[in-house]
Structure 1
Amino acid sequence: MEKGCRILAADIGGTRSRFAYFDYAGGELGMGDVVRIPTAEATGFDDLLGRVRAAAPGAWARLTRQTDTGNDAPDTPDASVTAFAAFAVAGPVEEGARCLPPNIGWHIDLATTRGLPCAASLLNDFEAQGWACLLPGAQQCLQLLPGKPDATAPVAVVGAGTGLGKCLLLPGTPHRVLPSEGGHATFAFEGRAEAEYAAFAADRLGVGRLIGDDVLSGPGLSLLYAYHHGETLPPHEVAARLTGSDVVVEWFARFYGRTCRDWALHTLARGGVRIAGGVAAANPMLVQHGAFAEAFFDCPTHTHLLRTIPVSLVTNADAGLWGAAIFALLHAGTRRTPR
């Protein structure tokens, strides 16, 4: 009999944190209660978990016991069911237990975390996006550019949210996902007009050079809007004002296309490129604008190669939760990819 599993999965970002309870049985993975909390409302990881427990106490309690009896009698142990928590967090993870997220005001250390309901591990948030690629239905992908995916080649994942994330899904048995902190690498601007913007943005941020996080992110969208329109607004207000003809959309789409192209070339991702992250999912025009495709194919030596790589947009904001749940299954001993 295949081992079942109860899972607490999390996608902890700089802006908001999502938690979901999953059940795995009979080869099927199903999502239950979902809890969403603005990350800044929590004073620390312990406080965040306390809020999750308070929001769905019944689902939390099920992680600490194996079998529901259906009556008031105590639950009885069942060796065929286990529980595991996987917390995907926006930052570099050490030994599956520690993380100092660059866009969150507190750190995570599972060794000192109080009240964990079951065995747990940390993973990078974009590693979770990589695992989610194994369940395309959970991603709800929208094709942006056609191609001929190679099932034996890597799949590259790129995404703008509070920051810029990247990862790589490697094929094989078992699959592997390689996390990345590529969003903190220097961003490559091109031409005089972009150089002038780079000088403006660096001055605004008080930095000597701009990284991907500064450019291709929610805050980066606000910065670009301020440069072109002279008004500083939070990302959600900028997005509400944008139209397909706005120069901000054109520039952001070009930056996005260039970033996806470079990541695909760096990793030879013939398996495809998936765009994740809340910015494009909430504002598809930022990757549907013609400037995106133009930048993606702009390569003097490998345009033909790039035209074979399909590019799609992950529209499900909860894809990272599904990816974290798959990671949990692998670490809980199930060792199977769910359907």
Structure 2
Amino acid sequence: MWFLVGDIGGTNLRLAAVDAAGAVISRSEHATDGRTALPEVCADFCAKMSSAPEGVAVAVAGVVVDGRVRMTNANRTISRGDLAKACKIAPAKVMLLNDFEAAAWSLATLDPEKVTYLQGGPASQPGPRVIIGPGTGLGVGALVWQGARPVAVPGEGGHVRLTPHSAEEVAYFEALIALWPEVQMGDTMAVEAEAILSGTGMPYWYRAISQARGEAATLGGAAAIFAAAKTGEDANACRAVGLMARYLAGVAGDLGLVIGARGGVFLTGGVAQQNAWIFDAAFLAAFNAGGRHSRWREALPLGLCHDPDFGLLGARNCLFADRDHPLPD
């Protein structure tokens, strides 16, 4: 008996076979691009396993509606029916999850050895937990408990609003809205958080700052911008990444306050995992800047999750919980 779990983001497509105890027994990884079709990849994976899976759970970066999901940052749609056909099982055995619903499920079996705590440490008892992940997009999920049973709370927290924090930043937001009008929230100066707090948004944000300052934007993708900011070789990259980190800290702290995340607020995703250097004292100060509730925020554990398989593990946890399997330790 085996189960198929998957994690489909804007950059990577990961699949794994897990046994009845939840242990990974086989896996594969592919780029998420126009040449990679999930049903075909799943069919090939199942063929190599020489049998159909007992159940399937796939986490996808998009909103799941009526057994279908259109990926937020990739031009493709995935359906439960297509996956069932590819895996040669009944559609009722296939689960489609939002990627950060799965990320939230991963917190049910969080390995403290794969977390660097910026504040506090592992909670002694289960409590509400929040996970926020800047990657290709910005994902947010939460995990709460009903008695002893964990339950994930999906949402689209990556699309909450951001506004300028200073007069200087007004020009940056104006330039960003001009470059990328789709991310503007109504007719205000606000933009959706993902427009700045993601690998997709960072090049727009860097260009906006450069244009607002009347300077050339010489860098291309997010990786180059973060690298230049780390070495200090490009002043506008430093501004873009510094402000991004401050906004991310504020959003993370706000979400921790909303959920009452005594069990912790956790950062993950490709951008976070590849740029741990941004989580410095200034980041922590912005996370804890809560006015009359600053001490409340200071009591929240805050950690950086290093496990790249959090989506796969979360899909597994959700699948096992749905089938009343015991969650792996």
Normalising by the smaller structure, the TM-score range is 0.7 to 0.9
Tell whether 2:174 aligns with 1:199: yes
What is residue 57 of structure 1 aligned with on the other side? 47
Do the aligned residues in 1 keep the contact of 2:43 with 2:86 (CA within 8 Å)?
Answer: no
d(CA) in 2 for partners of 1:321, 1:112: 20
- 1:146 aligned to which of 113, 120, 124: 120
- 1:276 aligned to which of 262, 268, 273: 268
Do the aligned residues in 2 keep the contact of 1:138 with 1:319 (CA within 8 Å)?
Answer: no
Do the aligned residues in 1 keep the contact of 2:59 with 2:315 (CA within 8 Å)?
Answer: yes
Do the aligned residues in 1 keep the contact of 2:52 with 2:87 (CA within 8 Å)?
Answer: no
Comparing 262-271 with 235-244, greater Cα deviation is found at 235-244
1:109 aligned partner, one-letter code = S
Do the aligned residues in 1 keep the contact of 2:5 with 2:15 (CA within 8 Å)?
Answer: yes
d(CA) in 2 for partners of 1:215, 1:141: 25
d(CA) in 2 for partners of 1:134, 1:38: 28
Structure 1: gaps spanning 5 or more residues: 65-82
Do the aligned residues in 1 keep the contact of 2:138 with 2:158 (CA within 8 Å)?
Answer: yes
What is residue 73 of structure 1 aligned with on the other side? none
Report how far residue 41 of structure 1 moved.
3.2
d(CA) in 1 for partners of 2:107, 2:308: 14
- 1:335 aligned to which of 320, 325, 329: 325
Report how far residue 124 of structure 1 moved.
1.0
Report how far residue 23 of structure 1 moved.
1.1
In 2 relative to 1, CA 48–12 (structure 1 residues): closer, same or farther, beyond 3 Å? Answer: same
d(CA) in 2 for partners of 1:301, 1:20: 46
Report how far residue 138 of structure 1 moved.
8.4
Structure whose residues are more often helix by fraction: 2
Do the aligned residues in 2 keep the contact of 1:144 with 1:313 (CA within 8 Å)?
Answer: yes
What is residue 242 of structure 1 aligned with on the other side? 229
Count of paired positions: 307
CA deviations over 1:145-170 (Å, ceiling 9, x no partner): 22684735310111111111111100
What is residue 235 of structure 2 aligned with on the other side? none
Do the aligned residues in 1 keep the contact of 2:116 with 2:304 (CA within 8 Å)?
Answer: yes
- 2:195 aligned to which of 214, 231, 240: 214
d(CA) in 1 for partners of 2:206, 2:113: 29
What is residue 322 of structure 1 aligned with on the other side? 313
Tell whether 2:220 aligns with 1:233: yes
Superposition TM-score, scaled by structure 1 size: 0.83
What is the DSSP-based 3-state SS (H/G/I as helix, E as strand, rest coil) of the residue aligned with 2:117? strand
Do the aligned residues in 2 keep the contact of 1:161 with 1:218 (CA within 8 Å)?
Answer: yes
What is the DSSP-based 3-state SS (H/G/I as helix, E as strand, rest coil) of the residue aligned with 1:309? coil
Structure 1 vs Structure 2 CA RMSD: 2.2
Superposition TM-score, scaled by structure 2 size: 0.86
What is residue 298 of structure 2 aligned with on the other side? 307
d(CA) in 2 for partners of 1:266, 1:122: 26
Structure 2: gaps spanning 5 or more residues: 186-190, 211-215, 233-237
1:157-168 residue pairs with structure 2 within 5 A? 157-168=131-142
CA deviations over 1:175-199 (Å, ceiling 9, x no partner): 1100011212222331112222111
- 1:85 aligned to which of 56, 63, 71: 56
